[in-house]
Amino acid sequence: MLGLMQDRPLALPHMFHRAEQLFGHKEIITATAGGGERRITIAEWAVRVRRLATALDRLGIGADARVGTFCWNTAAHLELYLAAPCTGRVLHTLNIRLFPDQLTYIVNHAEDEIIFVERSLLGALWPLAAKLPTVRYFVIIEDGTVGADLPDDPRILGYERLLAESEPFAGRFEIEDENTAAAMCYTSGTTGNPKGVVYSHRSTMLHSLISLTADGPALSERDTVMPIVPMFHANAWGLPYGCLLAGSTIVFPGPNMTPKAILELIAQHKVTLTGGVPTIWMGALPLLDDYDLSHLRALLCGGSAAPKALSEAYREKLGMPLLHAWGMTETSPIATASTVRSHHAAMTEDQRADVRARQGQAFPLVDLRLVDPDTGEEVPWDDQHSGEIQAAGPWVAREYYKGEGGGAQFTEDGWLRTGDVATADSYGFIRLVDRTKDLVKSGGEWISSVELENEIMAHPKVAEAAVIAIPHQRWVERPMACVVTKPGETLTAEELLEFLRPRVARWWLPDAVEFIDEIPKTSVGKFSKRQLREKFAGYTLPETSS
């Protein structure tokens, strides 16, 4: 017997029409390059989305063409977020910080037909134009910067002019099959070529809904949300879509992402929720006292482990620890979050801080299991055994675009191998110990680089730290700590080791401590261990080593 409910597609047109109909009075504010801002109501924004839909048709962009964006977090970017998928095309967000070779590869692999590019970013993209044969148009979005003259080329169009010349699409957008592709995003590709993750309308709608749940970001109409995490990185963790569904006011930081600029925006616009990688929160920490941040209710932090010391520093200063979430491009990206639950109530504050430093519990509809990479068997959730996290759910990838670049990342029974290694307590709160490729294997035992980094970063003189494996004759690998001290502080290796001794097992103590000026970062602001490994390739450990 079948259920007798309506079978309506879970598709982005619903999100668009809901926002247009119910939240037309709400605002989207975009900070512009020169320190100014642009304000637009959802009603005005919706008309521009409708014009853009017509414009894509007028330009003859294919029915399911990939529509590239090379943009900051701006209202115009959000216009593309809806106009492309609501017309059946596929939004393809391009990472503006990628190396030219990777960018060329990605645009060609996705066969983008058109790319919308912000004026200040054209200099990074245009030199590649000759190598991008599928791209018929580059549409320039003016973002308040004054660049060099635009190249005289028929492929170059102006965004505002294009919109002005296109009548707003008058009807209702329709997507019949909710499994139609809505957007795609390539993973940064720490190894091999970047891999294309393709989100569907259905996965996007379900993932957006989850950002409205109470044990997650809990987005509501009363929120003013500023997504700091880039819109080219896993759809800014789904925040922009979540805001449209909830009716939240949105503040986009535009091109200026310095800690000062971000804190100013939070204070000025009374932002209630924002989200970014730990690097952002580390940078903002010393400046918190200078701003009125009293309207904030949640600081989402993910993309890398949110160190306990950092989260505690926020709790002490703002009365609000970081809201720690975990996921990856392949999981849309939000898969878990660590909110304190009723069974944590009786704990001490310090124990609760340990809970918050965990990556947390899976969201509804996401299934996780921990699998021993050697035996292929699931490990128990006893907080002792660790295994690779495997994920399944309606917003988890089942394969990569064109099936390329990672068949081995999916199990025979259809789960995603995340490459992250974790333990879980009996409530399913996971604690990430490492990425499989970052673990340090010493004498057959794993050392968690993430945990070691957390302990090092708890030292009051340490700003940032990353741990990498160094080959060792006897133990195969031993940990090396690359440490950045806070400005004006000095620290010796011996002082640091002394600090670590009561905190970690003796055999976890790094064999070498290197003080460096800065930890190299990836294009999305995470510690780049690959670059550190390259920097220290051939490093020989001190004679005294273990």
* Residue positions annotated with a catalytic role: 187, 330, 441, 446
Closest CA to 67 of 83, 48, 78: 83
Query: How big is the chain, counted in residues?
Result: 546
Q: Binding ligand ADP by CB under 6 A: which of 144, 240, 302, 479?
A: 302
In angstroms, give the least distance from the CB of 9 to ligand ADP.
27
453 binds ligand ADP (CB under 6 A): no
216 binds ligand ADP (CB under 6 A): no
Q: Binding ligand ADP by CB under 6 A: which of 30, 69, 180, 188?
A: 188
435 binds ligand ADP (CB under 6 A): yes
Q: Binding ligand ADP by CB under 6 A: which of 235, 418, 448, 454?
A: 418
432 binds ligand ADP (CB under 6 A): yes
Place of tokens 């392949």: 330
In angstroms, give the least distance from the CB of 125 to ligand ADP.
20
Separation CA 41–CA 55 (nearest Å): 21
50 binds ligand ADP (CB under 6 A): no
Separation CA 535–CA 520 (nearest Å): 10
Residue closest to ligand ADP (Cβ): 188
195 binds ligand ADP (CB under 6 A): no
359 binds ligand ADP (CB under 6 A): yes
In angstroms, give the least distance from the CB of 112 to ligand ADP.
20
Secondary structure (DSSP) of 72-85: -S-HHHHHHHHHHH
Is residue 457 exposed (0-12), middle (13-18) or buried (19+ Cβ within 10 Å)? buried
Choose between 208 and 304: whose C-beta lies nearer to ligand ADP: 304
Alpha-carbon distances, residue 400 vs 97, 252, 305, 326, 496 (angstroms): 22, 30, 25, 20, 43
196 binds ligand ADP (CB under 6 A): no
Stretch that binds ligand ADP, among 107-115, 146-154, 186-194, 494-502 (CB under 6 A): 186-194
Stretch that binds ligand ADP, among 184-192, 481-489, 509-517, 534-542 (CB under 6 A): 184-192
Q: Can you state the angle between helices 239-246 and 201-210, rounded to 10 degrees?
A: 70
Q: Binding ligand ADP by CB under 6 A: which of 526, 528, 529, 532?
A: 526
281 binds ligand ADP (CB under 6 A): no
Contacts of 259 (CB under 8 A, 6+ apart): 280, 283, 284, 287
Contacts of 521 (CB under 8 A, 6+ apart): 279, 527, 528
Stretch that binds ligand ADP, among 135-143, 214-222, 300-308, 472-480 (CB under 6 A): 300-308
Q: Binding ligand ADP by CB under 6 A: which of 132, 243, 323, 328?
A: 328
Separation CA 112–CA 122 (nearest Å): 16
420 binds ligand ADP (CB under 6 A): yes
Residue 204 per-residue DSSP state: H
Instruction: Fill in the amino acid letter for 513.
Output: V
Q: Binding ligand ADP by CB under 6 A: which of 92, 195, 324, 356?
A: 324
Choose between 135 and 447: whose C-beta lies nearer to ligand ADP: 447
Closest CA to 270 of 293, 300, 253: 293
Choose between 168 and 189: whose C-beta lies nearer to ligand ADP: 189
Stretch that binds ligand ADP, among 134-142, 315-323, 395-403, 415-423 (CB under 6 A): 415-423
Instruction: Fill in the amino acid letter for 443.
Output: G
Separation CA 354–CA 388 (nearest Å): 21
In angstroms, give the least distance from the CB of 284 to ligand ADP.
18
Separation CA 502–CA 389 (nearest Å): 30
32 binds ligand ADP (CB under 6 A): no
Q: Give a three-class secondary structure readout of 434-458.
A: EECCCCEEECCEEECHHHHHHHHHC
Q: What is the largest CA-CA distance in the chain?
A: 75
Separation CA 388–CA 305 (nearest Å): 16
Choose between 72 and 326: whose C-beta lies nearer to ligand ADP: 326
Backbone angles phi, psi at 16, to 5 degrees: -60, -50
Q: Binding ligand ADP by CB under 6 A: which of 30, 87, 204, 329?
A: 329
Stretch that binds ligand ADP, among 311-319, 412-420, 506-514, 537-545 (CB under 6 A): 412-420
Q: Binding ligand ADP by CB under 6 A: which of 200, 203, 208, 304?
A: 304
524 binds ligand ADP (CB under 6 A): yes
Residues that bind ligand ADP (CB under 6 A): 187-188, 190, 302-305, 324-329, 333, 359, 418-420, 432, 435, 524, 526
